[in-house]
Amino acid sequence: MNIENPAAFSFIMQDEIYLLNKDKLEYSKSPVTQPVITTPDVSFNYLGGNKKKFLVVVHYPELEFIAESHLTALENILKRLEFRLDDIAILNKAKYNDVTFAGLVEFFKPGKLLLLGNNAMPADIETLASNQPKQINSCTVLLSFSFDEMMDNQDYKKAFWEQMKKL
């Protein structure tokens, strides 16, 4: 017999149903409801303090965060813009391949988002032109070159710096 409406059960089954002691405790705590599905809180391991809500996303598969020489270069750039490492958050996307833009925004709440290289782009972000800042909701997003691309190319460095000054 297939019963679609649980309320109809009492009309069909007129006998009482008894619960075992261990089951009574479970049912006495709360009324029978739909199961609640909770999602675990998203957490990221990142470098920096994120005090000024400036997120920098990089892609270094072999490293925890960012290459030391690239970090030094980034810190020098940030210093010229009056930011310190404690003001920003550096996330290595290689450690979180499935990360979404929505997930980043929810966790970091960035006012500024710098994506260093195409590999650093979250999967669900809209199309971005390189070195063209774009406002997405309440976040200014800049896609630029990775440090690997910039280190030996003066034109890339110049284009990156010009946009960083505006960010």
Tens-digit pLDDT string for the chain (167 aa) = 555 666 665 666 666 666 667 666 666 665 555 566 555 566 889 999 999 999 999 999 999 999 999 999 999 999 999 999 999 999 999 999 888 898 999 999 999 999 999 999 998 888 888 889 999 888 999 999 999 998 889 999 899 999 888 88
CB 46 within 8 A of CB 89: yes
CATH of residue 87 = 3.40.470.10
For residue 85, what are its two tokens? 């490492």
123 in any annotated domain: yes
Residue 141: what pLDDT? Answer: 93
55 in any annotated domain: yes
| Domains of the chain: total | 1
67 in any annotated domain: yes
154 in any annotated domain: yes
Q: Cα-atom radius of gyration of the chain, to the nearest Å?
A: 26
33 in any annotated domain: no
86 in any annotated domain: yes
Residue ranges making up the domain that contains 147: 47-166
36 in any annotated domain: no
Three-class DSSP labels, 132-155: CCEEECCEEEEEECCHHHHCCCHH
Residue 36: what pLDDT? Answer: 61
15 in any annotated domain: no
